[in-house]
Structure 1
Amino acid sequence: MRWATYFAVLAAVLSVGLALGVSMPLVSFRLEGWGYGPFAIGVMASMPAFGVLLGAKLASRLAARFGTAGLMRLCLWGGALSIGLLALLPNYPLWLVLRLGLGTVLTIVFILGESWINQLVVEQWRGRLVALYGSCYALSQLAGPLLLGALGTETDYGFWVGVGLLLVSPLLLIGRSGAPVTEACSVTLGDLGRFCRGLPAIAWAVALFAAFEAMILTLLPVYCLRQGFTEDIALAMVSTVVVGDAVLQLPIGALADRLSRRSLFTGCAVALLLSSLAIPLLLHTVLIWPLWVLFGASAGGLFTLSLILIGERYRDDALVRANAHVAQLWGIGCLIGPLVAGAGSQWVSGHALLWLMVAGALGLIVLLLRQGALGAAVPQSV
């Protein structure tokens, strides 16, 4: 196994997590300061979702033309440009366009990076190494809000840190090998439908986690502010959720190499349901802090287990296309989650974000009761 390449690809993807973690909450705080309501902030949070759908469609075709490593470098630099323009051009309509572009290029990075990692790892270590990726990515997002808290939200330093990360990280990929071989094709919504029918629980879990992550970085800080917490406490609560996502992924990955992955999947779904129900009841008690950890861990576990299950089933172009479908589902989750939660928070209930997670977790549990919810053992094509 190419360990140096694994860690180089891992570091490149982690730079994206840190850049997003330090810049996305800053965007929400700026909009809140400009007087925009939760729905407008939710619209902003959903814009990268359209970019995700576009990036998923283009990833395989562009990777066949430029090569996996070359395309990842170009997209990372494109992400740096988009974040830099957020700082230079503070305008709501323009920010919508920039967030669209950011979603497109960074989606391609995620598709190719996750495919590259899953292609490199050996089967007996798959659970732990894929979980290490998920854990480190979550930690990079944790560091983002913490770093933003240190830098302050009154300046543009958070944006410029993101720019610097995305300018430097592509250099790590120079000379690396072992990437999946791709064909010049694009995935369609029809292909996505077949993927969802074949792996319905995985498809649902990916979309649910995408909605979770988009809302945690954008709407959860606003939710905490509106529940009476200070800005520092709101950022600390977001960071605690991400801690939960990060710290338990490695144990989940280790268990996935030894125990039934279906049972672990179901356990994470049940934990997400119960924690989402409990948060409004315990929000102003000391118990909220461990509850935030469980909330993040259970949601992150669903995504880590989804990647593990996909990685054991596909190789090369099929693996890239499977991860492109993951990206499409991610886009759908990022689009629907913030829009529904933002609208619900403004016009229905201040706890709409959590009720949406309750509904999503319950739907996943119902799916897991069906035979074939996680697909056949080893499908050969997407």
Structure 2
Amino acid sequence: MKNLPWRDFIALVASIGVVGLGLGATIPLTALRLDQRGIGTDIIGVITAVSALGILAVTPFVSRWVTRHGARTCMIAAIIVGGLSTALMETTSDLFAWALLRFVFGACMGVLFTVGEAWVNHLAPGNARGRVVAMYTTAFTLFQLVGPALVAAVEDKITWAFAAAGALFLLALPGMALIRGDAQSDDEDEAQAPWRTVLPQMPMIAMGAAFFALFDTLALSLLPLYAMRQGIATELALLSATVVLAGDTVLQFPFGWLADRYGRRRVHTGCGIAVCVLLPVLPFAAGTAWLWWTVLLMLGAAAGAIYMLSIVACGQRFTGARLVAASAILNASWGVTSSGGPLVTGVLMHSVGINALPAVMWCGAATFVACAWWEYRRIP
């Protein structure tokens, strides 16, 4: 990793890490406040889905904005507006207003994810891409996992919780000021490359992002409620999302190293198979503390590696504006499943039973594995 520009990389990682902290606090805080008001899981799923729709809505425009205004300017604007939209949730309890603010918040996250992922791939040397991207995703999830724990610790002790969560985002601004360079080349012809030329080259990559979006959103928003319905105490149930994110954090670098050494596609598919094996164990693990935490830790590690390796694959296949477009498609995939996933899962948990949560997650993982098998047959 001698060719890695460490100053830019560390500044980018610090900035995106702070964003992860704010995101990790905001999602479970929203679900908890709605649950405390007696709102059902179906409505909580709708509010969560609206945020993902914001990611989806902004995706077609990110490449154009980056070309016109630059990556740094786009990220700074998204950080400020995202923090403001979170803080404004403190001023109202109207569900429609909350939905609108979550939509704006999701759009800002879409810009940050797209540009940040393209930028880290732009910085990463080819022979160490797995490890560099793993450090980036590890930092993000390390900060993100603190969010639910922070909510569990202070949610009954602080009055202006959403305002405090919004202020967290502003801490990312100093790091952005330290970054030099940009996330794409200045090639005008390349800058005009449409996403339609990129999408056919990344079916497995897009499905990996789609699965992790489903898994991550459900883990942060509905897993604590699932744990409470299984009889786990509220304080421990809120920590369930933290344990999932801890698993995601701890093993990302080893998975990145394995991908650099043994091949990204092999490790990528193996993680999908592992998730398919672990999820059916979840309903039976709730009654045994050590098994519950172990399964959540392993699920977080395998699911997180699926997304991390999707980012790695984008960097392997694309450069310049095509890389930004590929990252935008990655986040469009995220928006599609994380908008529909909580909505469908919340309704199913309400009408069919709480075990609809691991069932929906399993369907997403199985679809990823099937897509990987199809790509292997098509592209040897």
TM over 0.5, shorter chain: yes
Quote the Cα distance in structure 2 between the aligned partners of 1:187 and 1:102. 28
Percent of residue pairs bearing the same amino acid type: 32
Determine if the alignment matches structure 1 residue 279 to structure 2 residue 314.
Answer: no
Q: 3-state SS of the aligned residue for 1:370?
A: helix
Which one-letter code corresponds to 1:363 in the other structure?
T
Q: Please say if residues 146 and 236 of structure 1, whose CA atoms lie closer than 8 Å, have aligned partners that are also in contact.
A: yes
CA deviations 1:140-192 (Å, max 9, x no partner) are 1111111112212463454233222212312221252232236697998xx46
The 3 A distance-change label for structure 1 pair 195 and 278 is farther
Q: 3-state SS of the aligned residue for 1:110?
A: helix
Residue 75 of structure 1, aligned match among 60, 78, 83: 78
CA deviations 1:192-213 (Å, max 9, x no partner) are 6x64543222211110100111
Unaligned 5+ residue runs, structure 2? none
Q: 3-state SS of the aligned residue for 2:136?
A: helix
After superposition, the CA RMSD in angstroms is: 2.0
Determine if the alignment matches structure 1 residue 368 to structure 2 residue 352.
Answer: no
Residue 50 of structure 1, aligned match among 43, 50, 53: 53
1:11-26 to 2 correspondences below 5 Å: 11-26=14-29
Determine if the alignment matches structure 1 residue 316 to structure 2 residue 314.
Answer: no
Residue 255 of structure 1, aligned match among 251, 255, 258: 258
Unaligned 5+ residue runs, structure 1? 377-382
CA deviations 1:59-87 (Å, max 9, x no partner) are 11222222111111111000111011011
CA deviations 1:295-327 (Å, max 9, x no partner) are 111110100111111111111101100001011
TM-score, length-normalised on structure 2? 0.93
Quote the Cα distance in structure 1 between the aligned partners of 2:208 and 2:116. 20
Determine the structure 2 residue equivalent to 1:173.
176
1:348-359 to 2 correspondences below 5 Å: 348-359=352-363
Residue 160 of structure 1, aligned match among 157, 160, 163: 163
The 3 A distance-change label for structure 1 pair 371 and 212 is closer
Determine the structure 2 residue equivalent to 1:221.
224
Quote the Cα distance in structure 2 between the aligned partners of 1:153 and 1:61. 43
What is the CA-CA distance between 1:370 and the residue it aligns to?
A: 2.5
What is the CA-CA distance between 1:334 and the residue it aligns to?
A: 0.7
Q: Please say if residues 272 and 361 of structure 1, whose CA atoms lie closer than 8 Å, have aligned partners that are also in contact.
A: yes
1:53-202 to 2 correspondences below 5 Å: 53-153=56-156, 155-181=158-184, 191=195, 195-202=198-205
Quote the Cα distance in structure 2 between the aligned partners of 1:20 and 1:130. 19
Residue 307 of structure 1, aligned match among 288, 304, 311: 311
The 3 A distance-change label for structure 1 pair 263 and 153 is farther
Determine the structure 2 residue equivalent to 1:334.
338
TM-score, length-normalised on structure 1? 0.92
What is the CA-CA distance between 1:249 and the residue it aligns to?
A: 0.6
Which one-letter code corresponds to 1:291 in the other structure?
V
